[in-house]
Amino acid sequence: MILVCVPDRRLAKQEMPDSNKYIPYGRHTLDEDDIQAVCRVLRSDWLTTGPLVAKFEAKVQSLTGADFAAAVSSGTAALHAIMAALGIKPGDEVILPPMTFAATANVIVHQGGTPVFADVDPDTLLIDPGCVAQKLNDRTRAVIAVDYAGQACDYDALKAVCKDSNVPLVADACHALGGSYKGRMIGSVADLTAFSFHPVKAITTGEGGVVTTDSQEYTEKIQQFRNHGIDMDHQHRAEACSWEYQIESPGLNYRITDIQCALGISQLDKLTSWIEQRNRIAEQYDLFFGTIDGVSGLKKEDYGVHARHLYVILLDPDKTRGGRRVLFEELRQKEIGVNVHYKPVYLHPYYQKRFGFRQGECPHAEQAYERMVTLPLYPGLSQSDQERVCRAVSEMLEG
């Protein structure tokens, strides 16, 4: 077996192969600058909403090219705030792909809306604009596209479909910070975009999220929603020398803290280099799996920078010894933290019971789910650890 060499990876020389070390599928990268940035906040007057929230938002805005950014406490909060800003309510339908994390669908239900699943393209696992067009009707109030694994959806096609029906297009780009689509950064392509800063994501704030948009109206609604539906935050009340505030709608506490934003500001400086490292590691996987039978990677479109959040392989069940489950269990036994992203959302019990979804709703997503495994991918993944992963997978293949 020939394993791929990665001569230009900085860590290569100092690596000590450790065959027992646990390799997670994803993890954060932190340096001394990040730690110092957080320590400075801990010594300051502001722990929660202070000056760093606006500074972090300005930095996200400048990275994405969006006119506005509103930071919140998680990617889930970002999606929920978007659904609230769009006024999703009982009787409204929202179209989304089933190949996503629970949060994308749950936030629709929290607003009383009905999730409608459109199947994915079998090669990219991105929502298929043709399937979206088939599901659109006069109850549709939004379409959520998920930039699965870090790759941008086919936004031109999705925008055309949404424009025909005058429906807003939302990007769940929780996997895709730092990615681009036809020369535009993710965050400035859809009408509203949600990002997550959970530790396995491109940058982290511990927990955290942000919404980007070009709409001032949506931004103001999201700013209210993250702060109980109150019309002014404490800084504005202090500036206006007033104790008074109005509750305009029943919002939530989805505020992000200055502690988190200090970390986010420091992490954003390293995003470009981390996306490059993720791409280099993914290309090495592509090269390796391109030479062996029984495993394929997902198709990479050539319309932008892939943020490479996840590296997902699809197994040929006839050529894999014992199939996906055995491969998964054996890799875990070898301390390789493989994962599966995702079981189609509508196959979960709540969605089956509440909405009556059944097997067969989205055949491409279901077929992919049966064959998929997510392999470790993060900026600090060493060459020797990546080789350990490749070797472990290839040992599971027949012949």
Ligand X SMILES: Cc1ncc(COP(=O)(O)O)c(C=O)c1O
Catalytic residues: 201
Map the footprint of ligand X across residues 121-150, applying CB under 6 A.
146
Cβ-based neighbour number of residue 113 at 10 Å: 23
H or E element in which residue 143 lies: strand 140-146
The CB-of-385 to ligand X minimum distance in angstroms stands at 23
Among 83, 144, 174, 375, binds ligand X (CB under 6 A): 174
The CB-of-319 to ligand X minimum distance in angstroms stands at 29
What is the maximum alpha-carbon separation in the chain?
Answer: 76
- Residue 374 within binding range of ligand X, rule CB under 6 A: no
Map the footprint of ligand X across residues 332-371, applying CB under 6 A.
none
Nearer to ligand X, 295 or 338 (CB): 338
| Cβ(355)–Cβ(115) below 8 Å | yes
- Residue 284 within binding range of ligand X, rule CB under 6 A: no
The CA distance from 283 to 386, in Å, is 12
Among 25, 56, 101, 288, binds ligand X (CB under 6 A): 101
Task: Please state the separation of Cα 369 from the chain's center in Å.
Answer: 18
The CB-of-126 to ligand X minimum distance in angstroms stands at 12
- Residue 261 within binding range of ligand X, rule CB under 6 A: no
Nearer to ligand X, 204 or 382 (CB): 204
Q: Among 126, 386, 390, which residue's Cα sits nearest to residue 277?
A: 386
Among 188, 196, 284, 339, binds ligand X (CB under 6 A): 196
Alpha-carbon distances, residue 313 vs 13, 76, 141, 196, 333 (angstroms): 28, 26, 34, 23, 19
Map the footprint of ligand X across residues 37-96, applying CB under 6 A.
74-76
Residue 24's identity, in one-letter code, is P
Nearer to ligand X, 57 or 172 (CB): 172
Selected range binding ligand X among 101-109, 184-192, 224-232, 282-290, rule: CB under 6 A:
101-109
- Residue 103 within binding range of ligand X, rule CB under 6 A: yes
The CA distance from 211 to 86, in Å, is 13
The CB-of-334 to ligand X minimum distance in angstroms stands at 25
The CB-of-341 to ligand X minimum distance in angstroms stands at 8
- Residue 209 within binding range of ligand X, rule CB under 6 A: yes
Among 61, 64, 100, 106, binds ligand X (CB under 6 A): 100
Location of structure tokens 């789910």: 369
Nearer to ligand X, 76 or 111 (CB): 76
Cβ-based neighbour number of residue 249 at 10 Å: 12
The CA distance from 142 to 174, in Å, is 18
- What 3-state DSSP class applies to 87? coil
The CA distance from 73 to 358, in Å, is 33
Q: Which residue is nearest to ligand X (CB)?
A: 75
Could you say which DSSP state residue 129 is in? H
**Contact partners, residue 370, CB within 8 Å, separation at least 6:** 317, 324
Among 28, 80, 175, 221, binds ligand X (CB under 6 A): 175
Q: Roughly what angle, to the nearest 10 degrees, separates helices 102-110 and 75-85?
A: 40
Nearer to ligand X, 76 or 382 (CB): 76
The CB-of-208 to ligand X minimum distance in angstroms stands at 7
The first and second tokens of residue 232, run together, are 């002014």
- Contact set with ligand X (CB under 6 A): 74-76, 100-101, 103-104, 146, 172, 174-175, 196, 198, 209
